[in-house]
Amino acid sequence: MSNLTLTKTRLAHGRWEGRVSGPATGARPDIQVRHLDQIVPGTELSEGLKPGQWELVIPVPTWAIGDGIQTFVILDGVDGTKLGEFGLIAGDAAADNLRAEVDLLRAELDMLKRAFRRHCRETSEPRRG
C-alpha cells in the first residue's frame, strides 16, 4: 500500500497536471503512467514548493487520442498501487454519451412538466366544502 496521494490540478494544452504528496522526509517517488498497459513516455516529476510534494506533468501522447474512451492509470512504481486515473472521450463514444444525457434530461423535464400541470390543475379547481 502506497503512502502517496495524488491530486489533479488541471488538464490543459495536452498535459495532465497534478500534485503527488507523501512523507516530508521521503525520497522522490517513482511514478508510472500507463495507457493500454504501455508506459506513457515523457512523464515529468519535479519538486514542489513544500517538502513531500512533487509536481507531476503527463503529456497526453497523440497516439493515445482516438475514438472511444482512453484511460490513463497513474501508479506508484514501487508497489504498483493505483494513485489515480484520467480519461479522454472522443469521437462516436462522446456523441453517444451526449445523446444519452440529453435523452435523460428530456425525460426528467417531461416528468416535471406533468407534475407541474397536475399541481396547477389541483390548486385551480374550486374547493367544495
Q: What is the pLDDT of residues 33-55, one digit of tens each?
A: 999 989 999 999 999 999 999 99
CATH homologous superfamily for the domain 5-90: Immunoglobulins (2.60.40.10)
Per-residue cell: 28:
522522490
| pLDDT(58) > 90 | yes
| pLDDT(57) > 90 | yes
Percentage of the chain exceeding pLDDT 70: 96
- Please report the pLDDT score of residue 40 as a whole number: 96
Average of per-residue pLDDT across 7-34: 93
| pLDDT tens-digit readout, 67-110 | 888 999 999 999 999 999 999 988 877 777 777 778 778 888 88
| pLDDT(24) > 70 | yes
Q: How far apart are CA 122 and CA 116, in angstroms?
A: 10
Question: Which strands form 82-90's sheet, in the order they lie side by side?
Answer: 38-39, 31-35, 68-76, 82-90
Predicted confidence band at 127 (pLDDT cuts at 50, 70, 90)? low
Residue spans per domain, the chain = 5-90, 91-129
> What size, in residues, is the chain?
129
Q: Which residues contact 58 (CB under 8 A, 6 or more apart)?
A: 15, 16, 17, 18, 33, 40, 42, 43, 44, 72, 74
pTM of the model: 0.73
